[in-house]
Structure 1
């Protein structure tokens, strides 16, 4: 395990309920941080928060990071519940269909960009001002 002490810190992990995001969530908890998991799957994050709750403070926040308003509300909910926001891991993402570029539907491309690109911008836009306080 690492020797990084994150006691008293609050991290946000988008898509933090499974895969790499869950591993990051678990590492933050092991290092002493409280963690807000922002994810579109409410049932999953509730289950993961219950599973990991014995390791530290876990706040499940339902949010679609491709929606700026939902991201703003998630940041507000995190600060209200945990008092601060110190670390942001923009992990949520999708790949879209596995197709040749000339066969790739434009609407699928827009969904990927909305989550993978716009979502990172929205999360940084909401989190950085709080971090700078």
Structure 2
């Protein structure tokens, strides 16, 4: 715990003041940590996630202010990603940072011969197609 506090104390504050970010998969896990860090450093952040309740809860934990927005976003759907980017630009005037964080690993499968193609396709769509779409609309 002490090393975390000392490393945070050595960081310049508000490094992202005036910046606007969209974080896909921002409602939980690594994305949640990115949202918290960006917010702490002064960025306005759009949490783009399929987990609407978790996104809303994170927004409230961060103070519920207008510098955080949430939007339902399935990264495999181009219209959803476009909507998240458009929301950032319409609400905050710009988009400086796009974090294509949404991802999944799928269920454990000790033998690849037993892995089902529809599961692989879903993983590929989220992890590869989702990043492509996010980059396309930046």
The partner residue of 2:51 within 41, 45, 48 is 41
1:20 aligns with 2:49: no
Q: Which residue in 2 is equivalent to 1:130?
A: none
Taking structure 2 as the reference length, the TM-score comes to 0.86
> SS state of the match for residue 47, structure 2?
strand
RMSD: 1.5
Measured after TM superposition, the shift of residue 103 of structure 1 is 0.8
Structure 2: segments with no counterpart, 5+ residues? 1-7
The structure whose Rg is larger is 2
1:73 aligned residue (64, 80, 83): 83
Question: Of the candidates 50, 57, 61, which is equivalent to residue 51 of structure 1?
Answer: 61
Alpha-carbon separation, structure 2, partners of 1:32 and 1:73: 23
CA distance in 1, matches of 2:103, 2:70: 18
Structure 1 distance, partners of 2:64, 2:84, is 23
Q: Residue 38 of structure 1: SS of its match in structure 2? A: strand
Q: Could you tell me whether the CA contact under 8 Å between 1:97 and 1:104 is conserved in 2?
A: no
For residue 105 of structure 1, the aligned residue among 109, 116, 127 is 116
| Pairwise CA distance, 1:102 | 1.1
Report if aligned partners of 1:39, 1:63 keep a CA contact under 8 Å in 2: yes
SS of aligned partner of 1:111: helix
Aligned to 1:122: 133
1:62 paired with 2:72, answer yes
**Alignment TM-score, normalising by the size of structure 1:** 0.89
Distance 1:105 1:120 in 2: 23
Q: Does 1:84 align with 2:89?
A: no
How far, CA to CA, are the matches of 2:79 and 2:25 in structure 1? Answer: 17
Tell me, what secondary structure is at the counterpart of 2:45?
A: strand
Q: 1:32 to 1:55 in 2, by over 3 A?
A: farther
- For structure 1, the residue ranges without an aligned partner over 5 or more in a row are 128-133
